[in-house]
Amino acid sequence: MEDRKVNTIAVISVIALIIVIIAARVSLKLSRAFFLICGAAIAVILAVFSCLFIRQRYNRRRRLLESQLRSEGRELRIEYSFLRKIAGVPTKFRYKELEEATDGFQALLGRGSSASVFKGILNDGTSVAVKRIDGEERGEREFRSEVAAIASVQHVNLVRLFGYCNAPTAPRYLVYEYIPNGSLDCWIFPARETHARRGGCLTWYLRYRVAIDVAKGLSYLHHDCRSRVLHLDVKPENILLDEDYKALVSDFGLSTLVGKDVSQVMTTIRGTRGYLAPEWLLERGVSEKTDIYSYGMVLLEIIGGRRNVSRVEDPRDMTKKKWQFFPKIVNEKVREGKFMEIVDHRLVERGGVDESEVIKLVYIALWCIQEKPRLRPSMAQVVDMLEGRVRVDEPPDSRMILVDLLSVDEDHADQNNLVRLLTSMSSHVDYASTYSLETTILSGR
């Protein structure tokens, strides 16, 4: 706008000077005064053109420098973002950035009880998964400190956390790297159970490798972090597979950070039915052994290709359904020596399943789900057993009290049975707390 105004003034000035020269020629003829006026006017015209030329050159150079600076600034921002990712420093995104990256939060990848995940692409071309957290109760300072702690955790079997958005007028958001093959449940359970857009049936080789990958990720969280990180929600939905079907543990952020010198912490029950350890249900506190129990449950699902907790038809009354607990079936098959009957029937039909590996995984899973936490191995020991550095002994026969607890129906007789079972586990559990516990389990909270 300014350049146009200057050009307009210059044109008007030149035209005015030309008119002055013509008027002087007519009125003064070829007198000395005419030549003085004509020379002065031509000099001014040349000066105007010189100024326009210089200004044009200056503006061209200025625009070129501005373009270079913008380009360098964009490259610096991309480089800075890249270095922050390498260093594990979480980036604080603006809500508008995430809204544009996800195209208005249209590409839904999945939804849970308190969060939804959307696919997005950042300005630098990075594909991300944006998790929108609804109803988060943490304070802003606690949220940021935990995000910083989790973002600094880097391992090949853990999903990277790029950053967060903590806008006061919108839900909180976590920005993770995007993993293309989705979650493990889509690859081990039948499609009718998962309703997945993409999935399949993992081969035995890949399932064994997934078991090792998940164990390594959890072992890193438990043993190699500055502060131990307890996941507290290990399940197939929180295990993702990349393009090479390598497993990465997700949703380990905002779990529970525990000091190295702390053995147990108290926290509210917020896991998923079928993966909760007995000590958590009995409000005795949680530790890394709680994650190990959940890992054992996931390992059984990887082997069997079925959910640990399911509702099946009651053979005594086809109009009713009852709870069925897969670990109890596994325990019975192990006592009978029928290990191949535990394996996903789709894999058995295809062949290629190594029975010795099946026995090893089943034994490890049963060690992990021992009801007494002190009997469970550490995740580091689990990795050693999976990779053959440590011999896997046959686990002790478990009473499977939690099996009966999860398999009860909602009638008075089963409530009395539940009281008896829990009393055998903990003498200080009263009927009121037991009934509340049963309600928590059956509702899946």
Return the amino acid letter for 30: L
Alpha carbons 152 and 251: distance in angstroms, whole number: 14
Closest C-alpha among 126, 97, 102 to residue 116: 102
Contact at 8 Å (CB) between 253 and 146?
yes
Return the amino acid letter for 67: S
Closest C-alpha among 177, 159, 163 to residue 220: 159
Alpha carbons 33 and 39: distance in angstroms, whole number: 10
Q: In this structure, are strands 91-92 and 161-165 parallel, antiparallel, or unpaired?
A: parallel
Alpha carbons 170 and 134: distance in angstroms, whole number: 9
Return the amino acid letter for 444: G
- The pairs formed by 187-193 with CB atoms below 8 angstroms and a separation of 24 or more are 187/241, 187/245, 188/236, 188/301, 188/302, 188/305, 188/344, 189/236, 189/301, 189/305, 189/306, 189/307, 190/305, 193/307
Closest C-alpha among 99, 120, 95 to residue 108: 120
Q: Which residues are catalytic?
A: 233
230 is written with which tokens?
């307890």
366 is written with which tokens?
């049963």
Distant-in-sequence, close-in-space partners of 153: CB < 8 Å, separation ≥ 6? 88, 161, 220, 221, 225, 229, 252
Distant-in-sequence, close-in-space partners of 14: CB < 8 Å, separation ≥ 6? 45, 48, 49
How much helix, strand and coil, in percent to the nearest 5, is found in the chain? 55, 15, 35
Distance of CA 29 to CAs 21, 24, 33, 37, 83, Å? 11, 7, 9, 12, 77
Closest C-alpha among 245, 108, 121, 134 to residue 180: 245
Q: Answer yes or no: is 92 a known binding residue.
A: no
Alpha carbons 4 and 364: distance in angstroms, whole number: 79
Binding-site annotation: residue ranges: 131
Binding-site annotation: residue ranges for ATP: 131
